[in-house]
Amino acid sequence: MTHPAPTRPDSPWLLRPTPRPAARLTLYCLPHAGGGASAYRAWPTGLPEWIEVVAVQLPGRENRIRERPAIDLAALAQAVSADHGGAPYALFGHSNGALLAFELAHLLGESGPGPVYLGVSGAPHPALLGARREVSRLGDRELVDWMVDQGGVPEQVSAQPELLELVLPALRADLGWLEAYRHRPRTALGCPLSAFAGETDERVPGDGLTAWSTETAAAFTARRYPGGHFYLTDGLPVLLRDMVEDLSGLRY
């Protein structure tokens, strides 16, 4: 007998690029600093039908542009918890989103079932972040130039002031959160953890990637791909292939 898929509450925090109500695993994806849910729009086409992508939409960007940009992990955890309803789920985040996913994994595990898998991309182990330049306090032009150098803003976008006015407040909020972030040693997560980075990403040195192994009591994998901090722009098919391999081997 076939049972209908559970009804999930609508939430401004969570968007489904391609709804897959029959999927057996939900993959919640968190964006880089200043990014929105659209960063994961293409992901479903590279993943099998048994994985449903749910992109996190933080306040102050895209369809939530009228809201004040902020990071509220407690509210996000509540939305994710209500959404998965106890069913198996995984977390993935890139750059700033990797730290958000890491903190979210701990927060969710403290109040209910934790994720069955955590993927962190483009971020060193939190304890190795060290002193951070206060980029969030730069002037608009300097901040845009910094983002272009990182590969996070196409040059054609940086030349359009009307678009930048929409992007910069969220970017500043995210960078401010990152600059204030301090790692707190905690019990290792019980789920497998995979760490990904570009081969030429100066933000993530070799030990910065492998040190993530200390954050899980389960399996750990570290992989690097051609490219820099935003290696997944061109290397997405290979990244998704490797993630499917990781997720296919899970037991839950």
Q: Per-residue pLDDT tens for 189-234?
A: 999 999 999 999 988 988 999 999 999 999 999 999 999 989 998 8
What confidence score (pLDDT) does residue 166 get? 75
Output the six-digit token pair for 46. Answer: 């590279």
Output the six-digit token pair for 230. Answer: 């935003």
What pLDDT band is residue 2 in, cutting at 50, 70 and 90? very low
Residue 216 and residue 188 in contact, taking contact as beta carbons nearer than 8 Å: yes
Rounded Cα distance, 252 and 250, in Å: 6
- Distances, alpha carbon 207 to alpha carbons 124, 213, 217, 221, 240, in Å: 8, 10, 18, 13, 23
Residue 69 and residue 169 in contact, taking contact as beta carbons nearer than 8 Å: yes
Q: Name the active-site residue from 95, 121, 136, 194.
A: 95
Average pLDDT over residues 141-156: 66
Give kind and range of the element (H or E) at residue 29. Answer: strand 25-30
At 4-16, the pLDDT tens digits run 445 577 899 999 9
Mean pLDDT of all residues belonging to the chain: 88
- Of the candidates 179, 180, 140, 184, the residue with the CA atom closest to the CA atom of residue 163: 140
Q: What is the CATH number of domain 14-130+182-248?
A: 3.40.50.1820
Q: What are phi and psi of 223, to 5 degrees?
A: -135, 145
Q: Taking the domains of the chain in order of start, what are their residue ranges?
A: 14-130+182-248
Residue 95 annotated to the active site: yes
Q: ∠ at Cα 58 (22, 139), nearest 5°?
A: 150
